[in-house]
Structure 1
């Protein structure tokens, strides 16, 4: 009787393995979209009426490592001027550097750049380029300065924001990178 019970249990176990080991080949594999590594955010501001191009750069080559990002601003913005802006994000842990901006543009419905002014800085940002559904993407934009002032200019890239939105406060999503620059207009 023991051999019979063991044979039945073995048959049941083997049958269970056969049915659970086989699966339908009709199931599509899940596509994994790995989160991009962003080490560098660069904003280039080109004056429309002559003058110096200004670059704002944050570079954090060790990512979440112990070293703080190196944040630089190449100079002061001119008062009462207009600039054409472009933002780029890179992964400089690879050689050559991987231009993540290309992926952001390709996946435009899933990304948006936000620009926030603080501390009395007299600046407006508008004229953003749009995604494929007519909502703000923000890889290119215009900056208009007012009277001399200083303050902060924060640039954030948000992944999967709610679009349209009125700004970063109601966009939701996840922040891929956010950098605050100390800016002076003179």
Structure 2
């Protein structure tokens, strides 16, 4: 009987010790989603002429629609250097999210998608992350032929699958990930 009692107490004690765990586990850092109120795409021609396409949504997720503006004229068959900027203007001063996108380049990619009206327009990535994959903050933009009512969709993806088919050339189809920003510009090429 004493042996059974001793075994019972031993098993109970061991069970209690094994079931205890350390609460010192450091939680994994959470990368909060960026708040982006403003997307500004600056296109600069070799002549120095600049075109700025901007989407500004100063109430964030509020009910007001974004305000789209285009300053300058996109000229036909012209190559532009493209630089995009993402801002959180709910902060004062405005927070430049572009810096975070660059720092976390392996976890971000900007996609530029054109409609059939401007099918001969193109964007080529000129910046790369630490793994040699595109980020999309700096590009070369070719305007294509004269056309009207062209649509350019700019999408910033967080944690896209950059190794997926077509993603490194700018095809968003297989990218996956979460959308941090998505804006649509309608413009003419003169």
TM-score w.r.t. length of structure 2: 0.82
Q: Is the 8 A contact 1:46 1:53 kept in 2?
A: yes
Alpha-carbon separation, structure 2, partners of 1:69 and 1:145: 24
Q: How big is the shift at 1:62? A: 0.5
Q: Who is 1:173 aligned against? A: 177
Q: Who is 2:64 aligned against? A: 67
1:141 to 134, 139, 150: 139
1:35 to 10, 33, 36: 33
Alpha-carbon separation, structure 2, partners of 1:43 and 1:142: 12
Q: Who is 1:131 aligned against? A: 129
Count the aligned residue pairs. Answer: 167
CA offsets, 1:29-79, max 9 Å, x none?
A: 33122111110101000001x152000000001111110000111132111
SS state of the match for residue 120, structure 1? helix
- In structure 1, stretches of 5+ residues that fail to align are 1-15
Is 2:189 aligned against 1:185? Answer: yes
Alpha-carbon separation, structure 1, partners of 2:45 and 2:124: 15
SS state of the match for residue 169, structure 1? coil
TM-score w.r.t. length of structure 1: 0.84
CA offsets, 1:133-159, max 9 Å, x none?
A: 011110000011222012101110000
Alpha-carbon separation, structure 2, partners of 1:115 and 1:70: 19
Structure 1 runs of 4+ with >3 Å offset: none
Alpha-carbon separation, structure 2, partners of 1:164 and 1:120: 29
Alpha-carbon separation, structure 1, partners of 2:182 and 2:36: 11
Q: Who is 2:85 aligned against? A: 88
SS state of the match for residue 98, structure 2? helix
SS state of the match for residue 145, structure 2? coil
SS state of the match for residue 57, structure 1? strand
Q: Who is 1:101 aligned against? A: 98
Alpha-carbon separation, structure 1, partners of 2:109 and 2:125: 14
